[in-house]
Every structure is written in C-alpha cells, then in structure tokens.
Structure 1
C-alpha cells in the first residue's frame, strides 16, 4: 500500500514529508536480503551497504542499509536522500521505491538496476562486465546529462548531486543511464552556492574550488560530469589513473596533453578498437574539456551540455573558449585547469578530507 508519511524528529524539531512512498517493515527487508547476507551485497559506501533483495511478490530491489541508522550522521544522510529523491522524478534519475525506519535502522529501497553501473564497465574493476560499444557510451552520456539538467534547472528548489561519478551512473535493462545516490546532494534553496566545512565526494571527480574551499554549486557537478565523459571515452577510472607505471598525474592532465598533440586515438578505450566515430570522439572530448575548466564561471550549464552532446552549439562554444584561453595567455593570466587540479590532488591533507564517501549500488 502506498501512503503519504510524515515523520517528526523531536531532537531537531523538524518535519520530514516522505511523500508517496511505500513503507516496509524491517522484517520484510530482512527476509528479502536473506538477513543481509554477504552473498546479496552489491555495493559499499561511506554511509552504508547496498544489498540485492527479493520482495514477497518476486520484485527484485536494491536495499541500502545505513550504518549506525540511529546515529546523527546516518539520520541526516537518510533524511537528505528521502527529501532529494522524493522531489526529483525523471526517467534518468533513480526512483526511490520505499523506506524503512525503526529505532535503530534506516533503509532505502530502490528498483534493482540489472546492468550495474558505468563503474562496472571500466578497466581495473574486478569481474568487469563486457565493454560498452561507442553508441551506448554516447547514449549514457546524454542520459546522465539530462538527469543532472533536471536536478539543476527543473527542480524547485534546485539540487546539487555533489558526487557525480561512474559508480553513481546506473544502467537499466536497456543500458539507459540512471543517476543514483543523492545522499551527498544539497538543496540550494535558491542560493547561488553552498559552503560546507566537510568536503564530500570522490577524489578524481571533485572540482578544484570545492576541494580547496568547500564551495559547491551546479558547476561542481558539471566538473564531475566532464571527468565522467573522459572515463566513458577511455574506459579508465579517474580514481585509479596514475597508479600504473606509464601514467603520471591526473586523467585531466593526460587528456589535455593528448588533445593538444592531436592524438585522440590514444585516449580511446582499447576495447573499442576502431569501432567509434572520430568526429563524435573529438566532440565529446571538447565537451569534457569545457566542463572541466578551472574556473566555475567558465564551465557550461548542464542545459548547454545536453545541447552540445546532441550536436547543437558546440562549435561556437569551443571556439569562444579557445579565444578566451588565448587572451588569458597573452595577458599572462592563464588558468591551467590540469596543472591546478594536479596541484590540489597532490595535497595529501586534502585527499584525506575528500575520501570516497559513497559507493556503487
């Protein structure tokens, strides 16, 4: 039975409107996951584990069980996810199916995504599934962009995801992109930015200004999306990049260098061989580089990103970006996103703050 639920948290004097969601008894989810068996475990994150589950009617679901469900941090995480997901309804966003709350447990129930996440298709991932073809990668990029566009420009108030990465882009039965894990999202409430004392996100995807100052905005997500595009193109994980003997620095440094040298074939996932469109490759790399510019004000909005990925307005945007870059260089005011980002990610004290706090479903 689907009902409207309103929960009160006396210690905070807050009201949480959970909307049109199904409430599950804890026992039902316990049975569904075989008492949260390790055999049913499909993902781990900083705030909890995710299990595959079978409901009594045979429905396959993903159950996120928060760590320390009655602790302050876990409860805040729970409230945030419920509020965010109940507000955001779009074909490219993960739908929240239901929830469970007890004195000691907080659980969220989602539809099960049969094809895992983009992260499961990247190199270096244990038991990786077969590589995606080029057309599917482009479709995933556009779908994820549309999901983020909805969060930024069509939700009221708007929502920042704050952890855009391959593990949080899920794939449905048809390999369509579904943006998941809103646990780190923050409502903007009609303000331009949000400042936090604790950086939340994943190293390799975090925008420079967020990593150094804790200031996030929609453009923080745009940066993460740009890195996601580079992961889709290369088949490599940004988090793992640089750990092999023939790779140095951040993924962004490497791509910018190869792009300048006009050797884009070196970027492409070797599993694709020559089965990709050279023009589409150049265009997707350009979109990624526009998204990962050092200054947030120079990055496009997600609505512009969607249009560019669909073939509208990229040439003009790229030419304008190159002219601006040349002007800054002549004025000795050149902001090099790759160098600055490498400088930040080389700072171990910042990396400790920005450890991966959410994981795949």
Structure 2
C-alpha cells in the first residue's frame, strides 16, 4: 500500500497534465504573405506580400502552381467522434494582359497531400492529367473557362469538387454580378457547418459578407475528413495570359470541445484512506518510506530554487533591456525626433498591407503619410524577435550620428507598445534593384549619366563610412535593393541593420556571416570576417550590375545553367571585348572609354584576393579622373585567402569583437 503523502502527490500529479489526444480548433490569419508557414509549389511566387499562383507573362503560356499551409489541420477528433466545421475568407484577383486570352481558374482545396500540384489547363493545378483520379481533395473551384471534358456550365462559375473535377454542384458567378476575370479584388467566404451538413460559398467585390450565398450545397463532408488535411490554393493556365493572385487569407476550424484535463482516479474512498493510515507495517517498509520522504524533502526545495533562479534571470534580463532602451533614448535625444506610436500607426493606416513598399531581413517597410506635417516617410517595422531588436538598435545607433548626402535621411524613430520603428525620408524612385530589373517591360530606364552618378555617389558615401567617421562603419550588406534613388536618381545608401562599428586601429569585425549571396566576398564566406575590403567587393558587384543590367547570379537564357556576373565580365575582358558586357537596353548610348573604365573598376573591386582590391577612396579618385585606373589581369586570378587576415585574426578572442554595434 502507498503512504498517504505519496498518494496525495500522485493524485495532484495526475491532474497536472491534460490529455494530448483531443483535437483542437485551428485558426490562422494572413493579412499579407511571407514564406513563413507556407509552401509554394510549381509556378507560384511571392511578390510584395501577395502570392501569384501562375506565371506573370505578357505572352500566352501554360502554368500551374499551388500555395499550401504547412501545418496539417485536424478535422476529426476520435475521442469525441466529432468532425470539425470550418470557415475561410480570402481575397483574390484574376487579371489578364489580353482579355481574349483567358483561363483556366483557381481553387481553394483541402487535401491529405502536402505536395498537391496538378497539371496546367482545365486541371486547375489540382490533379495530374495522366492520373486524374490519384489526388484526393475537396475543392471549391473558381473557373474562368468552359471545359466540356469536365461538364462546365460556362466560363464564369463556382463549383464544389470532390476527388474529381466534375463538380457536384455549380453556380454562375454573374447571378451576383461577379465577373471572376474582371481583375477586381474579389472576397470569398466558404463556410461548412458539420451539424447542419451544409456548405455555403459567398462572393463580393467588397469586404462585407453578402446575406445570400452564391453556392449552397447540402452535403455531409465528415466521411472525407477522417484524417488530417492540408489547406491551400491552386491555379492554372493553358495558352493564356491569366494571372491568379491571393491577397490575404483567414481560416479556422470550430466545433471541437475545449481540451480538458483528464484525471485517473484510483478508486480510493475517504474511509479507505483512513484505513491506510491505521494498517500496521513492517520496520523495513517504514525505512523505505523514510528514505522516500527524505528524497522528496530534498528534491522539493531544489526544484523551488531552480524556479527562483530562472525567474531571477528573466527579471534581470528584462531590467537590462529596459536600461538599454533608456540609454538609447538618451543617446539620440539630440538627433532624429521620436515619433509617437499613434502618429506612425495613423500614417501607415494601421500598418495596412496595401502600404507595404518593401521587405527585408529586418522587417517590412511601409509608406507613411503624415497628414499634420504634409510629409511622406518610409517606416521600417522590426520583426518581433531578438534579432529584429538587435538590428533595430544597431541601425538606430549607427545612422543617427551619420550625415552624408548619399545616405537615406533618418527622420525619426519610435519604440512603443513593443514596436521598433524607424522613419526614413521617402524615396520616390524606389530601390536601384527595382529600377535595374523592372517587372514590367515599360519600366524606367537608367541613362548612362545616371549610372555614372550612382557609381560615384555610392563610392563617396562608402569612403565617408570607411575613413571619415569617428568610428569606421562596415555596412556588410551592400546590394542594389539597399540603394534607394531619390527624385533626381541620386543614390542613397540605406538598411544599416547588419552594419557594424569598429575603431580604425582594430582588427576586422568577427561575426556570423551575414549579407546576400552574390554580393559576398570569398574571404567573408570562408572566415566570417567583415572588413572595409569586403564592402569594396560588394560595391564592385553592384557597379558591374549597374553597367551590365544583369543580376549577380542569373540563369542563362534557354538553359538551366547559372552564370556568375563577375566571372562573365572577366571572361569578356580576357577576350578583349569587355564593353560587350554593357547593358543592351542602353543601345550603345554611352562613351565606350567611360564604360570600359567603370567595368574595370568593378572587376578590380571584385578581385578574389582582398589585398589586390583598391580602397574605396582610390575608387572615388579613379571615377573622378584624379588618378589612373588600376591594372586588371586578363584572366581572373585563382581564389586566394591571403587577404591580410592572419590565423590570429581568425581565432581572435572576445575582446576584439566588443567593438561590434
């Protein structure tokens, strides 16, 4: 028999752990999309927080893609024998470059397969044309093409499909004056109530849910929801220019009972407990009970002290964070102004997805219109993570003290309500990346004088950061998407989230490798050491990108081969025709000698050996015709790491790394 104190302990312990078998309701809400928690298959892609399910091409093509929520959804609870109800709301648009070239449509689906991707055309990206009965699914189709193979009623209908594309029931979207191909944003609501055995689909051009469903089906879906399912969207085209986009998405299941703790009673009555205390036991049993009591007596206080230590650690950490924030405010009090959260929230329309103008490792960037002052800003909103906060503090502490005409001006900041916000001057021409590589054919073309100005301005601001500041600033993430263009196409360097401060006489910054592939110096990838020469390498790649109009790493046309920009230009240099690398869109509208000089400057900066790279000051002098250009070998030198980094530097202790921001 168990002693009373152990029995009480076991009874209490049994009440501490709820059952893990019961299913729980699921809810998620994507106001805009990131790659987090989502899988994109086929031709689907992410752009400005919106998922495109099919290719965006100006010419007819065949395409299919799908978007799937990563986590399986529980629709059936074996313990209570309950099938969940579900409701989803999402906004989508179906655009067309050529209205006469349409088809085929998109679907919302549930499937046990998390790799659902079907064929183009009438298969809606949902089933494979060669194995049309293989995929298992429940789907609501939004079909924009009449396909006789699947008994479609017209080219503008909504239908319920189960395991095949011959719809169980359809409805004409025009019954509620909805043209699926209009290009307008359409909001859809799909509700299934298991207790009523009814599925309803609502459509509207507004965000107000209609009173009457477009499609209503009396059906029991419980037989199809006996296993975990994945939810998502699919779409397809076949010889058309139709583009299918999902703008936002909410989903929830309901109907499961809340998970409750389960106890496992030992069938011990009050009288039986009393009896236990009166039963005589042997001396050996008493000794065993004493040892057990002693063990619990020691373990109890030990556990208490562990909890106390953890609580103390968390409290001290919070106190340090608060102290850091107060020190930060004191340091920048004389610099950029502090915005209130209310001001920034109103200026960005509550951080509405329509105001997003950029994304990065730091977080999202929103266009902000400050009505009171009549100014426009760009607000960087930090991700809610330790990394986001550290990058926020780094960027604020660095840029608040910098002044240069080729830096993005910082207007202010805000650290309220758990938000970390930086307010910059709005750059009307966006990023250099977007201008060099426009998504549409009719984008802005940078003239040769603009490109020369960008090269000079960027070298000027880097010379300031590297050699003219009280503490040297190593940017570590120089790339075209971090270079903004003001109203006159002057370059403005931004995004100091990865930047580091260091004294001019100190060793290179020791850190985990950060930055963007294609722009990173080989020694930085090898050793994780950031120096001014790693910034020079990134600058060289940017200059080649500006002169050639090609990305640092790009797929060769009509081939799967990836081409490195530095290698490609160096090869042309070896063949004695380096100016052939010039951006074809310029149509030769440049001076050949100026183009040659800029390309050679780019190659000299992107030299594999950092010791052979010029300083950024030397680069500025070359571009201003103050000194002669450096000689660049015809053949690209083999990779070398004799880059002024000694073994001692590589294994430097923490004392040298304390200069990081």
| TM-score interval, normalised by the smaller of the two chains | 0.7 to 0.9
Give 1:253's aligned residue: 567
SS in 2 for 1:187: strand
Give 2:361's aligned residue: 46
Q: Distance in 2 between matches of 1:129 and 1:64?
A: 25
Give 2:320's aligned residue: 11
Contact 2:438/2:444 (<8 A) preserved:
no
Q: Distance in 2 between matches of 1:151 and 1:302?
A: 10
Report the TM-score, using the length of structure 2 for normalisation.
0.46
- Listed as ranges, the matches of 1:75-94 within 5 Å are 75-94=389-408
Q: Distance in 2 between matches of 1:24 and 1:245?
A: 51
SS in 2 for 1:249: strand
Give 1:24's aligned residue: 339
Q: 1:58/1:102 Cα in 2 relative to 1: closer, same or farther (>3 Å)?
A: same
Q: 1:148/1:29 Cα in 2 relative to 1: closer, same or farther (>3 Å)?
A: same
Q: Distance in 2 between matches of 1:112 and 1:336?
A: 43
Q: Which has the higher strand share?
A: 2
Q: Does 1:59 align with 2:375?
A: yes
Q: Distance in 2 between matches of 1:261 and 1:80?
A: 45
Q: 1:103/1:95 Cα in 2 relative to 1: closer, same or farther (>3 Å)?
A: same
Q: Distance in 1 between matches of 2:508 and 2:440?
A: 37
**Residue of 460, 466, 470 corresponding to 1:146:** 460
- My pick for the range that moved more, 80-89 or 15-24, is 15-24
Give 1:34's aligned residue: 349
SS in 2 for 1:279: helix
Q: Distance in 2 between matches of 1:63 and 1:75?
A: 15
- My pick for the range that moved more, 166-175 or 306-315, is 306-315
- Listed as ranges, the matches of 1:334-349 within 5 Å are 335-337=637-639
Shift of 1:192: 3.2
**Residue of 114, 117, 120 corresponding to 2:431:** 117
RMSD: 2.2
Give 2:274's aligned residue: none
Number of residues paired by the alignment? 316
Give 1:137's aligned residue: 451
Shift of 1:128: 7.2
Q: Distance in 2 between matches of 1:265 and 1:75?
A: 45
Q: Deviations over 1:61-115 (max 9, x none)?
A: 00000110xx322211111001110121100111211000024100000000011
Structure number with the bigger relative contact order (C-alpha 8 A, sep ≥ 6) is: 1
Q: Deviations over 1:246-278 (max 9, x none)?
A: 564311110100111122343111110010110
Give 1:157's aligned residue: 471
Give 2:582's aligned residue: 268
Shift of 1:127: 7.5
Contact 1:162/1:221 (<8 A) preserved:
yes
Q: Deviations over 1:207-240 (max 9, x none)?
A: 111111101100011000000011101111214x
Q: Which has the larger radius of gyration?
A: 2
Contact 1:124/1:237 (<8 A) preserved:
no
Contact 1:95/1:111 (<8 A) preserved:
yes
Q: 1:50/1:234 Cα in 2 relative to 1: closer, same or farther (>3 Å)?
A: same
Give 2:419's aligned residue: 105
Q: Distance in 2 between matches of 1:142 and 1:258?
A: 24
